[in-house]
Structure 1
Amino acid sequence: MTGVYVKKCFDEVVDTSEGALSAHLQRIAHEELGETPEKRREALEELKRQLDAEPDLNARKDDEFLLRFLRVRKYDVDLALRNVRNYYRNRDSSGSVYVDFLPSNVPPAARTLYMRMTEKDVLGRPIFVFRPGMWMPEEVPYMDFHRAGLICYEHLACDPVVQTVGIVLLVDFSGFTADKLLSMSISLLRRALEYIQDCMPIRLKAVHVVKQSYAFDMLFALVRPFTKSKLAQRARFHGENFERLHEEIPPEVLPEEYGGHGPALDFDAFWKEVEASEENFEANNRFGYGASGADTLPEDCEQPQECTPL
């Protein structure tokens, strides 16, 4: 990215080039990620050089795509490269999950399970709502349920705001039963956790779990051995008591079902936004590993550790 850089103070440089982050986001990116125009340029050049040396990987090398990984890894190029590899390895080893991986192929019933709120939490971070308890296996096969979530995460990763300040999840388990748990694919569930922890180029800052039932305890027991300490430490288990939830997500922005008095969740508006990026998904689907990269597990950055409800 080229442009004019204006010196604002001795330790802060404002990028005024086309496509640059807002001044507010630039300040956050500088303070939390160490991002400067010079570091961004140098890191992009080095990451592209290292990707060119990967004979089996046909990766996207445009700045917009690579910045997702550099920002989530705070401009450590080696970690960003590992993240890119893991991203493509997860896609390559997930079989039919990524076949017809397009927003237009998400069935209507699956679109009531995921959405991003227009409002932010107290730290200005976007809020992504996930409602697994509303999933109806007889209407939406688990593969479609799983794929819809991955499409959402892929869309969110494109957002420079999410790349810079991160995102928080609000997971509503009301209505989640043992029958639904039995309809899930454990292998795909593990792949999803693997994707979130090692592959997804998103700064996941907090996970708020609400209205969890006994079936959630069974699910939690299944995923706990594969949950790493970093993710475990960011989980908050609220049940039906939203007092602590409201300390981080104000009731003014939450709908009535979460003890708030904000607007209702607008799933249709969110999915129109996702569908508008259809061409980006089509282009992205053309990249990845060849046959030699198939069935390779992500490089492990940290051993799984047990997590305890807070």
Structure 2
Amino acid sequence: MLNIRNISPELEIKARDEINEVQTRITEDISQIRDWIKKQPHLTARIDDQFLLSFLRGCKYSLEKTKSKIDSYYTIRSLSPEIFLNKQINEKTMNLFKLGPFLPLLKPLSTDGCRIHLVRYGHIDFDIFSAEDLMKINVRILDIQLFEDDNVFIGGIQCVVDMSSLSLKKILKFDFVLIKKITIFFEKAAPYRIKGIHLINFPKECLYIINTLSSIMPKKIKKRFILHSSLESLYEYIPMKNLPQEYGGENGNLEDTILYWEKLFLQYEKFFEQDLKYGVNEKLRVGPIVSLESVFGLEGSFRKLEVDYNYKNEWCLRNCTKMAAKVRSLSAELQEIAISELNEDEQKIEDEINAIHHFVAGLPGMTKYQISDQFIISFLRSCKFNNRTVKKKLPNFMTMRKVCPDIFANRMVNEEMIEILKSSVHLPLPNPLDTNSSLIQISNYGNLNLKQYNIYEGIKLLFMMLEIRFLEDDHSSVAGFTFIEDFSHLSFSHMIAMNIGVLTKIMGYLRSGLPYRVKGIHIINAPWFVNGIMGLFRDILPLKMKRRFFIHKTLNDLYEHVPQKYLSKEYDGENGSSEDILKLWETKLLKYKNYFQYDFQFGTEVETSEKDV
């Protein structure tokens, strides 16, 4: 006999019509999931009927999706115990709970409708409570709903986020790693059916943060984000009568709702204590071990291209005719770095280059792509002569031209591009840090006229410059680049245009598709709120990149990494003036006009999209 609640006739009809529930099959479906859990050596999970039924409903009775979500539910809990497992109820917890930061309202939209969640963080004192404290409250209430609320899994959830009194300073208390963990939890692990996330009463200065958060969210959740300029706009989705009395509605008042949930919360104290024994043991998992980086890391920003490298191509590679490589000679200083740091072996260069030529020729769906020996040796150097890395990065590099057209398509050297150049958005300094050190690239997107050009046109120029330097200067592939981002002229409009999504996309290209060695990224002259945002952005970077990401309060801090003399005259340095540098680059860009025009026809014809690379 199943130990589950009976549902109303209205919910029963909706469950049948929308989530494929068949009453006569529920016992069998629950039994199949329970039997599967018992056979997983790494997984210790609840097998209560109501718990498993909630997951089945949240997954529309797809057994495979239910298994995946239950596994992910416990995996993410185990990887982030600070949010999902630290559930002790103490005085601090109850003091925060009584403020009602996260409240499921007493009545759903209708008998078979969505449960309404009200989120209010503006009145919380962030000097006493952390963003992590808030997330722990949210997670506990959601856990209770797994056992108490059928509307959540059949009708869904409409979430109203009231941002009144939520200042930019408070929002910056939410680090992006924490937010990313929560959004991935909802995407991959939680069985809740999110129907809408409605933001109301938001301060204008927080629009940038809202856009940024939206940009890093999974596509499915992003589609459910709705910004309302007035409560009347919200009423189109949630009628006023369904809101609490404090919002002009008839759905109880906040005080009574808090008291209801406080009583229920305390009833679950033993449940939370027992819940700590459930989770995963990765040592016992059959198959690849799941780690914090693989679940929450940024590698998804630029996914690996799977290339079918078949036996025929392998045979061709081994039996190819050897060709003499045509590459530039390195200076003695750079040669020493190439040997000691990049694993370069002069005796093997020709073989390495010929192998990559044949690899490119054998790629499925590849258009005729003419690449020089010099280009390949530069790619090999930037990948430290790791063939596996080259064979991942090179197809990505080619594919980007087709699937990332906002940056890599229509790279026309025309009047508009020259005007962007002359506005000093980018300044490639002529001399490297030292004879054997990295090239320096200064950018100031605040100089870009957003009334005439969009942010991607400025980024497009950056990558065109980097590609030219890569083709011409061996410092780029051997010693790498040092990037200086000057935010001195950055307006609020620039910040909205250059959100975390844009920045993440750039970092994804640099990591997984572009053959440039990033030696350092230095932020200078940033307003206080930008410093905070950049700090959040740094938190979500992979460890290797995070170590090279610096936010400098003063130029003196920068000089510890890039001595003043290596900067341009505008920064009181000796490394050329912007006027002379930009004149040189105007000539250089015009010289490469045909190259960029001709270059876009190359790439892959593999059916893929930007989310795959």
TM-score, with length taken from structure 1 = 0.80
- Pick closer, same or farther for the CA change 1:262–1:291 going to 2, 3 Å: closer
Following the alignment from structure 1 to structure 2, what is the Cα–Cα distance between the partners of residues 190 and 93?
A: 16
Contact 2:328–2:374, Cα closer than 8 Å, also in 1: no
Is 1:205 the counterpart of 2:519? The answer is: yes
- Which of residues 395, 402, 414 in structure 2 aligns to 1:92? 402
Question: Once the 2 structures are TM-superposed, how far is the Cα of residue 167 of structure 1 from its aligned partner?
Answer: 1.6
Contact 2:402–2:409, Cα closer than 8 Å, also in 1: no
Q: Which aligned pairs between 1:119-130 and structure 2 lie closer than 5 A?
A: 119-122=431-434, 124-130=437-443
Count of equivalent residues: 284
**Paired amino acid for 1:258:** Y
- Pick closer, same or farther for the CA change 1:222–1:283 going to 2, 3 Å: farther
- Which of residues 43, 55, 78 in structure 1 aligns to 2:352? 43
- In structure 2, what is the equivalent of residue 307 of structure 1? none
Higher strand share: 1
Q: Which aligned pairs between 1:1-310 and structure 2 lie closer than 5 A?
A: 2=324, 19-58=328-367, 59-104=369-414, 106-111=417-422, 112-122=424-434, 124-158=437-471, 159-184=473-498, 187-217=501-531, 219-220=533-534, 223-224=537-538, 227-239=541-553, 241-255=554-568, 257-258=570-571, 260=573, 263-265=576-578, 266-290=581-605, 292-295=607-610, 297-298=612-613
Question: Once the 2 structures are TM-superposed, how far is the Cα of residue 169 of structure 1 from its aligned partner?
Answer: 0.9
For residue 171 of structure 1, give the secondary structure of its aligned residue in structure 2: strand
**Paired amino acid for 1:134:** N
Q: Which has the higher contact order (CA 8 A, sep 6+)?
A: 1
Which structure would you say has the larger Rg? 2
User: Mean Cα displacement is larger for which, 149-158 or 196-205?
Assistant: 149-158
**Paired amino acid for 1:205:** K
TM-score, with length taken from structure 2 = 0.43
**Percent identical across equivalent pairs?**
18
- Pick closer, same or farther for the CA change 1:107–1:187 going to 2, 3 Å: farther
- In structure 1, what is the equivalent of residue 81 of structure 2? none
Question: Once the 2 structures are TM-superposed, how far is the Cα of residue 128 of structure 1 from its aligned partner?
Answer: 0.8
Question: Once the 2 structures are TM-superposed, how far is the Cα of residue 276 of structure 1 from its aligned partner?
Answer: 1.9
Question: Once the 2 structures are TM-superposed, how far is the Cα of residue 238 of structure 1 from its aligned partner?
Answer: 1.4
- In structure 1, what is the equivalent of residue 173 of structure 2? none
Question: Once the 2 structures are TM-superposed, how far is the Cα of residue 64 of structure 1 from its aligned partner?
Answer: 1.8
Question: Once the 2 structures are TM-superposed, how far is the Cα of residue 72 of structure 1 from its aligned partner?
Answer: 0.9
- Pick closer, same or farther for the CA change 1:154–1:255 going to 2, 3 Å: closer
For residue 551 of structure 2, give the secondary structure of its aligned residue in structure 1: strand
- Pick closer, same or farther for the CA change 1:164–1:178 going to 2, 3 Å: same
- Pick closer, same or farther for the CA change 1:18–1:291 going to 2, 3 Å: closer
Following the alignment from structure 1 to structure 2, what is the Cα–Cα distance between the partners of residues 172 and 285?
A: 30
Contact 1:107–1:140, Cα closer than 8 Å, also in 2: no
Following the alignment from structure 2 to structure 1, what is the Cα–Cα distance between the partners of residues 469 and 382?
A: 13
User: Mean Cα displacement is larger for which, 273-282 or 32-41?
Assistant: 273-282
**Paired amino acid for 1:47:** I
**Paired amino acid for 1:166:** G
Question: Once the 2 structures are TM-superposed, how far is the Cα of residue 119 of structure 1 from its aligned partner?
Answer: 2.6
Question: Once the 2 structures are TM-superposed, how far is the Cα of residue 77 of structure 1 from its aligned partner?
Answer: 1.0
**Stretches of structure 1 lacking an aligned partner (at least 5 in a row):** 4-16, 299-310
